[in-house]
Structure 1
Amino acid sequence: MAMGLALYRLPRAGLAGIRRRRRAAAEARRYFIHGAQLLARARSAPPGSSAALSHARSALEEADRAVAADPRDAAAHILRSAALELQGRRAPAIRALDAALSPPAARSLASSERADALTQRAGLRLAVAEGTGRRRERTLDAAVEDLTEAVRESPKNVRALSLLGQCYQEKGMTQEARRAYESALAEDDSLVNIREALRRLPIEPW
């Protein structure tokens, strides 16, 4: 009898858990959509203006609510990162992308979305650690790791290829930089800055 009762209760408990997760996901989606709309307004406002910062802060609040409702949804963490970046808060923006790219949230990302998040994290890391020295070298290595993975996930990701070329160029890896730049131009030949960077690369002897 007790065994039968346990078998009866387990499916019901499972169904209740599923319902709770669905409610949480629906709630998170509402917060995310509102936050994305606020982020779009922040981006359309003049950079650094009070309107841009106000919308960015409001977008961050909605992203925080979405994360609290469903922390396993990477989209909410990515929205949070974007809102933080617009406020000039790059270090916490990187941490938000770390959360998006780590289990369990990472499992909700498609390959192209994962590539975009990796590329964004690399770009933020490079912006935070400007200059020279060991810190810059470590940042370049971490960025190359992110960007290489991004290109594996999405081989036609132009921004990832362009940033990868810039990292290789800074590291003095001319052949690798040339291949990355040429791959970027093969996808979008209108990239004047990348074409110019490719032209400036030294020609190595065979």
Structure 2
Amino acid sequence: MATDVIIHAAILLLTLAIVFAIRYVPKQTVTKHRTDHRATTQTQRHLIRATQLLSRAKSNPQRDQTQTLAKTAIAEIEKAHSLSPKDPNPYILKSLALDLLGHKGPALRSLDLALASHRVKSLSEKERVEALVRRAELKLAVNKKRRVDSAVTDLEEAVKVSESELKTKAFCFLGVCYELKGMKEESRKAFEEAIKVEPDSTVARQGLERFQVPHSCR
């Protein structure tokens, strides 16, 4: 008798568990999906708004208006970050806004956060390369002598993964960095690689001319 009671109780509990799984768990899944989708949509709206503000800020000749627009963009970016803290894009846009405000150190740190290992996977190849090149530029702007090696590391990574128009810029900037380090042969080769990608690159041609290397250009 006791065994039968235990068996019936077990069957009842199993039945209840199945009913719970069928009725309740899918609702939780749907609710979570809707919440995530809503957060993603709101994040994109804030980022689009921030991008528009930054575009206006870059083209505005009035410095005070540029700063106002950049600060407003940062407010939108912060809202996006609060909704999607794992998204690297708010950090990239914030870096651009901070740079417009003249805060190159914080702009560099924001890019460091965007390129952190747990976020960088979310970036497309083009976005990643653009961020690496931009970070290299900021490193030299903050402290050219101390950060040139680190800038070279970013640029060497950028030219390995890039198959886009950004590759020319990365090679040219890499040539400049090698030149700063006194690595003339490496610098010349970097400018030559840039020419291969974009024969009309003025920066690459000028770089080669500094080494007095004849090169036919279209």
Task: Report the TM-score range of the alignment, normalised by the length of the smaller protein.
Answer: 0.7 to 0.9
1:118 shift after superposition: 0.7
Look up the match of 1:121. Answer: 135
1:101 shift after superposition: 1.3
Look up the match of 2:162. Answer: 154
- Is the radius of gyration larger for structure 1 or structure 2? 2
Look up the match of 1:172. Answer: 182
Q: Is 2:39 aligned against 1:29?
A: no
Specify which structure has the bigger relative contact order, considering alpha-carbon pairs within 8 angstroms and separated by 6 or more residues: 1
| Corresponding residue SS for 1:42 | helix
Q: How does 1:17-166 map to 2 (within 5 A)?
A: 17-46=32-61, 49-130=63-144, 132=145, 136=146, 139-156=147-164, 157-166=167-176
> How many residues end up aligned between the 2 structures?
196
Identity of aligned residues (%): 36
Unpaired runs of at least 5, structure 1: none
Which sits farther off after the overlay, 29-38 or 66-75?
Answer: 66-75
Q: Distance in 1 between matches of 2:25 and 2:175?
A: 54
Unpaired runs of at least 5, structure 2: 1-12, 214-218
1:201 shift after superposition: 2.6
Contact 2:44 2:80 in 1 (8 A): yes
Q: Distance in 2 between matches of 1:144 and 1:154?
A: 15
Contact 1:77 1:97 in 2 (8 A): yes
Contact 1:169 1:177 in 2 (8 A): yes
Letter paired with 1:37? Q
Contact 1:71 1:105 in 2 (8 A): no
Look up the match of 1:3. Answer: 17
Contact 2:188 2:207 in 1 (8 A): no
Instruction: Describe the superposition over 1:158-187 as per-residue Cα deviations: whole angstroms up to 9, x where unpaired.
Output: 211111111111112222111111111222
The 1:190/1:202 distance shift into structure 2, 3 A limit, reads: closer
Look up the match of 2:29. Answer: 14
Contact 1:45 1:52 in 2 (8 A): yes
Contact 2:172 2:203 in 1 (8 A): no
Q: Distance in 2 between matches of 1:97 and 1:5?
A: 49
| Corresponding residue SS for 2:189 | helix
> Equivalent of 1:184, from 186, 194, 197?
194
